[in-house]
Amino acid sequence: MLKLVNDNDPVLKKQSTEWDFKQDLNAKEFEIDMVQTMVVNNGRGLAANQIGITKRVFAIALENQVPFCMFNPSILITDNELVEGDEGCLSFPGLWLKVKRHKQLTAKYFDRQGKECIIELTDLDARCFQHELDHLDGVCFPNKISPLKLAMAINKFKKQQRKK
């Protein structure tokens, strides 16, 4: 199992580089390790930089599918509808924030064999994809809300921690 980095690690703010199927790690083995780490930590997604590797790949658990990795993912089309919803993050354990995301999107990615795939995602699957894609761009979900809302959420989280 791979080790997660926490919220103050500078690697989370770094822009990831494209996955090179010829030169980078074995994609199949990397996918197994990423998915295992995500599942063991009860996540729905896990970006490579959350384990300290700045490559454009993330593991994702879409509804009704076996978890897998998306290599070099990108958004092709989004709808205009933004929906606010709760998000958490394995690198920010216990912190939950309301974040606005596109309700639907069409994305492109490569599977572990390097085959191009196009997928349409909605609701929670679209939210998870956008959250993980942000990680690859060095953006963490607290950056998506106002400083005031973030301060309020952190205070609420700290109060809950003191009660335990």
Which one is catalytic: 81, 84, 87, 132?
132
Q: C-alpha distances in angstroms, 91 versus 109, 114, 151, 163?
A: 23, 28, 18, 22
Active site residue 132: yes
Q: C-alpha distances in angstroms, 142 versus 45, 92, 127, 154?
A: 16, 9, 15, 10
Q: C-alpha distances in angstroms, 25 versus 18, 66, 73, 96, 156?
A: 12, 22, 17, 33, 41
Kindly give, in sequence order, each residue whose CB lies less than 8 Å from that of residue 14, ignoring residues fewer than 6 positions away.
49, 54, 138
Q: How many helices (H) and strands (E) does the chain have?
A: 3, 7
- Which residues are tagged catalytic? 132
